[in-house]
Amino acid sequence: MDRLGGITLLMLVITITGTLAADSEERLVRMLFNESAYNPGVRPALTPAEVVSVKITLAVSQVISVIEKEEVMRTNVWVAQEWTDPRLSWNKEDYDHISLIRVPAEAIWRPDIMLFNNKDGQYDVALYTRALVYDSGYVYWLPPAIFTSECSINVRHFPFDKQNCTLQFGSWTYDKREVDLQQGGYVQDDFKESGEWAILEIPDRKVETDDNVFIAYDFMLARKPLFYIVNMIVPIILLTLLSIFVFYLPVDCGEKVGLCINILLALVVFLLLIADIIPSTSLDIPLIGRYLMFTMIFVTIVTVMTIYVGNVHFRSTATHVMSPWIRYIFLELLPKLMKMSPPGEEEEEEDEDSSPTWDAVEMRKRDGVVQNGRPPVPPRSDQPKLSSELREAAGNVQLISDHFKDQDDDSAVSDEWRFMAALVDRICLWLFSIILLVGTVVLFAEPWYEDSFQ
């Protein structure tokens, strides 16, 4: 029974104490807002010339998105506002040592802090939370907000770009002679990392005009380019590499020009994708756009060279005559530099390898036998006269021999043109490989050595 009575007495004391505390807070609120006739529309200044100081601190929760096409940035933030209202001060000894109360934000004076560079019509905060009021008159208000602000997009280094998006806060109602805004910096206590953007820094600055004062927060953002590297840059580079290997294909396959055209069409598709991402601006060309233009011009020149190589490959004596300077450059000079053997030299090397040596011929003459082991037939001193039929037959044989000789000559000339086409293919393979490598390195290294990017 004694134990039960003790518990009952303790609960009674707690209830009475809570009731007294609630009664004290109710009396305090009644004193502040009813008995004193508090007016939330009146500026908390003791004299008309006094300037009310308001400190603004930005608590950044998340960079939701940066929409390049619309040039806007969406952020989830809390705009902390601190000021002192002498009319909301009290002596805590008279109210059971209550030093803090929470009151609706609509019931007290507010400095009307708005986002001036808003772009969706929502200038104010999203939710009017309760404000913390201390016995000294100090007021702390932390409302949440999702802002859509304008952000001028610099597309020069896209997708390795860095952007500077600004949130500019100021008092919508009061000028700088009535309310002075103070910088409170920014905090990232509950920050959620974005999958596309990384925050480098958020410096704040105070901007003053003739009548107004603003606090601006500059969001220094750096894009995470992995998505664009995997889905755009790497396929473009692979397609361009594929266009170089057109020179490795033989002309007789008939697919060289078709491959170049297909690659060019694929690059046009990537160009259309980029046009849907970046804003329609004529101030600058994005990095990936410049690289796409480079690759498209590159593939176009490759196509032209492929058509020229095909034209050279199918030339013959009936259509073209090889001039002496072309013969000298492409059949004598360049083959030595490219380590290629012209058609005539290859046949001469084969003949030299297949012909018997001089020592073997001398041994056969000295032995008096030929390869089949029979003795040599001595030449006849008297030559019989040929009949008309034999002379006609000899003339026909000579005509056939001349015909085949002309065919061999034409074939040799065609082989020279085909060799020239193969030589041009080999030169273009190395030349365009070097051009592609140098152009890719120079274009993609540009953001890292420009001062504006740093």
Q: Which residue has the higher pLDDT, 6 or 405?
A: 405
pLDDT band at 3, cuts 50/70/90? low
Section 159-181 average pLDDT: 92
SS3 189: coil
Q: What confidence score (pLDDT) does residue 386 get?
A: 58
CA distance 227 to 153: 19
Distance, in Å, from the CA atom of 129 to the CA atom of 142, rounded to the nearest integer, reads 7
Mean pLDDT over 161-169 rounds to 93
The answer to whether the peptide bond before residue 235 is cis (omega within 30 degrees of 0) is no
Please give the Cα distance from 422 to 335 (Å, whole number). 11
The mean per-residue pLDDT over the stretch 388-400 comes to: 69
Output 283 or 195, whichever has higher pLDDT.
Answer: 195
Q: Is the Cβ–Cβ distance between 53 and 180 less than 8 Å? A: yes
The residue among 74, 154, 71, 147 whose CA lies nearest residue 115 is: 147
Buried b vs exposed e over 86-110: b needs ≥16 C-beta within 10 Å? Answer: ebbebebeebeebeebebebeebbb
The whole-number average pLDDT for the span 162-191 is 91
pLDDT at residue number 11: 47
Q: Identify the band that residue 15 occupies on the pLDDT scale cut at 50, 70 and 90.
A: very low
State the pLDDT at residue 334.
Answer: 83
pLDDT in tens, 84-129: 999 999 998 888 889 999 999 999 999 999 999 988 867 677 788 8
Mean pLDDT of 275-284: 79
What is the chain's percent helix, strand, coil content, to nearest 5? Answer: 50, 20, 30
Average pLDDT, the chain: 81
**What is the rounded CA–CA span in Å between residue 125 and residue 201?**
23
Residue 41 has pLDDT above 80, yes or no: yes
Asked whether the predicted pLDDT for residue 370 surpasses 50, the reply is: no
Residue 137: the pLDDT is 92
CA distance readout (Å), 100 to 75, 127, 310: 31, 22, 89
Name the 3-class secondary structure at 177.
coil
The tokens describing 437, both together, are 């490598």
Q: Which amino acid, residue 350?
A: E
Q: What is the mean pLDDT of residues 222-251?
A: 90
Q: What is the mean pLDDT of residues 226-249?
A: 90
d(CA 244, CA 434): 10
